[in-house]
């Protein structure tokens, strides 16, 4: 049996208003990555393949986990959500004023994107196709593959595995924690979701406040 381990990047710049400003780890994000790397070295077995997307926050997370100079694959990059947010304001006059607005804003934005009412950097179909493509590549029988990516990518993989619509996918995406671990078993019967949103490296009393979603 093989395994694909998907890890969300550490906490990024949560005060950002653009893609560029968001794309760097906070001080806590760097700590989260180091803690996860230490936990994996102590409790997990080695990986046959290790990679991340090309975004800075994803690369910094993988490096913080102890994997310097690992391959990068742009197919693991996140939805350009800040760009879509700007379009939602321009097209519909709808703004995301606070993190709490994300609960309603995220599924509404995805639906508008899917319906072709927002352009984005890529189409909804193209985004889903590249996620399916990189996940297919990661499913290597008998091998363990580690992919450091982002919450939207992880939620999309789960949605594709379980055939979820946008409202249900959003409920998967919203709780995903920074540096959370998600495991998919690769079997002769197909891929099986085996773990979702686990954070064993943060499951300590003195790290309760270090669990973040944004």
Alpha-carbon span 124 to 159, nearest angstrom: 14
pLDDT classification of 84: cutoffs 50, 70, 90 = very high
Alpha-carbon span 23 to 14, nearest angstrom: 9
The tens digit of pLDDT for each residue in 34-48 reads 999 999 999 999 999
Bridge pairing between strands 2-8 and 181-187: antiparallel
Domain borders along the chain are 2-76+131-210
The residue-averaged pLDDT of 195-200 equals 98
The conformation of residue 9, written as its DSSP 8-state character, comes to: P
Output 77 or 93, whichever has higher pLDDT: 77
Bridge pairing between strands 2-8 and 49-52: unpaired
CA atoms within 13 A on the CB side of 140: 13
* Residue 119: per-residue pLDDT: 93
Q: Is the pLDDT of residue 99 over 70?
A: no
Q: What is the percent of the chain with per-residue pLDDT over 70, rounded to a whole number?
A: 98
The residue-averaged pLDDT of 182-188 equals 97
What value does the mean pLDDT of the chain take?
Answer: 95
Output 212 or 214, whichever has higher pLDDT: 212
Q: What is the percent of the chain with per-residue pLDDT over 90, rounded to a whole number?
A: 88
The conformation of residue 11, written as its DSSP 8-state character, comes to: P
Alpha-carbon span 3 to 143, nearest angstrom: 6
Q: Is the pLDDT of residue 160 over 90?
A: yes
Burial of 99 (0-12, 13-18, 19+ CB in 10 A): exposed
The residue-averaged pLDDT of 7-20 equals 88
Alpha-carbon span 180 to 104, nearest angstrom: 23
The residue-averaged pLDDT of 183-196 equals 97
Q: Is the pLDDT of residue 98 over 70?
A: no
Instruction: Provide, for the chain, the percentages of residues in helix, strand and coil under a 3-state DSSP scheme, each rounded to the nearest 5.
Output: 50, 15, 35
pLDDT classification of 97: cutoffs 50, 70, 90 = low
pLDDT classification of 101: cutoffs 50, 70, 90 = confident
CB 122 within 8 A of CB 75: no
* Residue 140: per-residue pLDDT: 94
CB 182 within 8 A of CB 149: no
Question: Cα dihedral sign for 199, 200, 201, 203?
Answer: positive
Both structure tokens of 128: 């889903």
The residue-averaged pLDDT of 147-173 equals 97
Fold (CATH) for 2-76+131-210? Rossmann fold (3.40.50)
The residue-averaged pLDDT of 86-108 equals 85
* Residue 18: per-residue pLDDT: 81
Alpha-carbon span 201 to 214, nearest angstrom: 18
């Amino acid at each position: 049996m093989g395994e694909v381990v998907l890890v969300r990047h550490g906490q990024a710049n949560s005060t950002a208003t653009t893609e560029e400003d968001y794309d760097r780890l906070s001080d806590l994000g760097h700590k989260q990555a180091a803690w996860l790397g230490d936990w994996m070295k102590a409790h997990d077995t080695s990986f046959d393949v290790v990679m991340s997307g090309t975004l800075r926050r994803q690369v910094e997370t993988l490096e913080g986990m102890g994997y310097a100079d690992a391959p990068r694959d742009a197919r693991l990059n996140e939805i350009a959500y800040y760009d879509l947010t700007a379009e939602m304001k321009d097209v519909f006059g709808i703004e995301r004023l606070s993190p709490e607005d994300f609960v309603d804003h995220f599924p509404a934005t995805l639906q508008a994107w899917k319906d072709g009412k927002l352009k984005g950097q890529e189409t909804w179909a193209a985004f889903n196709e590249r996620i399916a493509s990189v996940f297919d590549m990661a499913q290597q029988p008998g091998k363990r593959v580690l992919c450091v990516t982002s919450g939207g990518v992880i939620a999309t993989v789960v949605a594709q595995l379980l055939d979820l619509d946008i409202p249900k996918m959003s409920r998967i995406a919203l709780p995903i924690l920074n540096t959370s671990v998600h495991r998919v078993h690769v079997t002769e019967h197909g891929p099986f979701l085996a773990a979702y949103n686990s954070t064993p490296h943060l499951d300590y009393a003195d790290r309760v406040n270090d669990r973040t979603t944004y």
